Amino acid sequence: MDMDPQALISLYRTMVTIRNFEEIGIYEMGQRRLSGSVHSSAGQEAVPTGICAHLTDSDSIASTHRGHGHCIAKGVDPKLMMAELFGRVTGTNKGKGGSMHIADMTKGMLGTNGVVAASVPLAVGAALTSSIKGTGQVSVAFFGDGGANQGVLHESMNLASVWKLPVLFVCENNQYAESTPVEYALSAENVADRGVGYNMPGVLVDGMDVFAVHEAAGAAVQRARSGQGPTLLECKTYRYYGHTVFDNPRSYRTEEEETYWRGRDPIQLFRTRTLEEGLLQASLLDSIDAEIEQLIRDAIKFADESPLPPEDDVYTDVYVEYPLDGLRRGASMTI
């Protein structure tokens, strides 16, 4: 392990923040009867954490419908995220987007996205901007095992490879697309196998092990930054809860399977390894746990106390410039 304690602590903090955001935040959303279209990434924390540890604010990521973890790992403030989930004007998107559209351009977070795989070419576009402007930034496209079967992903991988763009294609294979098992929907054994078809490395990674993710991502980021083009990483992982809050996953997967994956919990694996190797103290990790839980509770308080958007915000940000009349005319709006 050639990571200094600060770097280790940072990985741990990120994973614990994601876990708490998902478990406490989504529960509190339910209590307030906010939108049910929320997707928890609990169980998958190691992937965005290990990948984004190599990125700076000027590198970009493009995310999915299950994107809270990506946002947190990329440095988006959980307070602003929570306010967005609660539909508040103080949210990252002023309450316009919610869970499936969280974006923070100051952090290079190009948005969670509600259309599966639709965000992938946005990351390729960010890589194009970097390559044309010569700024050395890399970008990451996150997608799921379901998204792996969308045409736009394949076109994007081909294009990025042809143009040797500095982008990582990161598949979070959590074994299911809604209730559809990956072994039913995927023609290859692994998503990573498809790298060959686009002349890029296709790397299989243990997505429950943040160190494995960190190492594989390091090599891919290095390759991208040095102008050698894209890499496909497939991280095998698992979502602990249903597809959304409405879904009972036991209707399509077994208790044994859930127990197996929970036995490889990324946060526990981290603790076991760092404690066994004497790299960190349990008391330190425990104090981080408590601190982060408080951080999430503060985020909820901030969201609760924030104002809702004024009604005429419905008309803002449709365009950079457009006559208001063009948005209202003929619709018989009351505001």
Partner 1 sequence: MTTTIAPNTTRELRYREAINEAIIQEMERDPDVIIMGEEIAGGAGREHLGIVDAWGGAFKTTVGLIQKFGSQRVKDTPLSEAAFVGTAIGAASTGLRPIAELMFVDFVGVCMDQILNNAAKMRYMYGGQVKVPFTLLTRIGAGTGSAAQHSESFYSIFSHIPGIKGVVPCDPYTAKGLLISAIRDDDPVVFFEHKLLYPETGPVPEEPYAIPLGKARIVKPGADITLVGISKMTLVCLEAAEKLQEEGLNAEVVDLMSISPIDYDLVLDSVRRTHRLVVVDEDTPRCSVASDICAAVADEGFDYLDAPPKKVTAPHTPVPYSRPLEGVYIPNCDRVMGVVRELLTGG
Ligand X SMILES: Cc1ncc(C[n+]2csc(CCOP(=O)(O)OP(=O)(O)O)c2C)c(N)n1
- Which residues here bind partner 1, judged by CB under 8 A? 34-37, 87-89, 93, 95-98, 100-101, 113-118, 146-147, 149-152, 177-181, 183-186, 251-254, 308-309, 311, 313-315, 318, 326-335
User: Does the footprint of ligand X cover residue 145 (CB under 6 A)?
Assistant: yes
Q: Is 174 in the site for ligand X (CB under 6 A)?
A: yes
H helix count then E strand count, the chain: 13, 7
Residue 34, Cβ density class (10 Å: 0-12 exposed, 13-18 middle, ≥19 buried): middle
Nearest to 3 by CA among 214, 168, 276: 214
Least separation in angstroms between CB 318 and ligand X: 22
Instruction: Compute the half-sphere exposure of residue 112: CA atoms within 13 Å on the CB side of its CA.
Output: 30
Q: Single out the residue of 206, 269, 266 nearest to residue 236, CA to CA.
A: 206
Q: Report the distance separating Cα 50 and Cα 15, nearest Å.
A: 9
> Using CB atoms, what's the residue nearest to ligand X?
144
* Smaller CB separation from Mg ion, 84 or 145: 145
Does the footprint of ligand X cover residue 87 (CB under 6 A)?
Answer: no
Among 67, 97, 108, 147, binds ligand X (CB under 6 A): 147
- 103-122 residues in contact with ligand X (CB under 6 A) are 114-116
Contact by Cβ (8 Å): 48, 142: yes
Say how far residue 251 (Cα) sits from the centre of its chain: 26
* Among Mg ion, partner 1, ligand X, none, residue 321 binds (CB under 5-8 Å by kind): none
Least Å distance, CB 130 to Mg ion, is 28
Binding at 66: pick from Mg ion, partner 1, ligand X, none (beta carbon under 5-8 Å per type): ligand X
Number of residues that bind ligand X (CB under 6 A): 15
Minimum distance, C-beta of residue 191 to Mg ion, in the bound complex (Å): 10
Of residues 49, 274, 29, 270, the one with CA closest to residue 142: 49
Binding to ligand X by residue 176, rule CB under 6 A? Answer: yes
Quick one: which segment of 2-10, 58-66, 75-83, 262-270 binds ligand X (CB under 6 A)?
Answer: 58-66
Instruction: Work out whether strand 139-144 and strand 167-173 pair parallel, antiparallel, or are unpaired.
Output: parallel
Q: In what order do the strands lie in the sheet with 60-62?
A: 60-62, 139-144, 167-173, 231-236, 202-206
Q: Which of 61, 110, 177, 210 binds ligand X (CB under 6 A)?
A: 177
Nearer to partner 1, 184 or 320 (CB): 184
Question: Of 263 and 326, which CB lies nearer to partner 1 in the complex structure?
Answer: 326
Long-range contacts of 22-30 (CB under 8 A, 24+ apart): 22/68, 22/69, 24/293, 24/296, 24/297, 24/300, 25/68, 25/78, 25/82, 25/85, 25/296, 25/299, 25/300, 26/245, 28/300, 29/85, 29/86, 30/245
317 binds ligand X (CB under 6 A): no
Least distance to ligand X, CB of residue 153, Å: 10
Give the residue with the Cβ less far from partner 1, 151 or 278: 151
- Bridge partners of 167, per DSSP, are 139
Q: Which does 113 bind (CB under 5 to 8 A by kind): ligand X, Mg ion, partner 1, none?
A: partner 1
Asked whether position 174 contacts Mg ion by CB under 5 A, the answer is: yes
Going 174 to 175 to 179 to 184, the CA torsion angle's sign is positive
Q: Where does this chain touch ligand X (CB under 6 A) — which range of 143-151, 272-280, 295-303, 322-330? A: 143-151
CA distance 142 to 148: 10
Please state, in angstroms and rounded to a whole number, the distance separating the CA atoms of residues 52 and 140. 9
283 binding partner (options Mg ion, ligand X, partner 1, none; Cβ < 5 to 8 Å by kind): none
Q: Is 209 in the site for Mg ion (CB under 5 A)?
A: no
Instruction: Work out the angle at residue 69's Cα, subtended by the Cα atoms of residues 65 and 72, and round it to the nearest 5 degrees.
Output: 120
Cβ proximity to ligand X, 116 vs 292, nearer residue: 116
Residues that bind ligand X (CB under 6 A): 64-66, 114-116, 144-147, 174, 176-178, 243
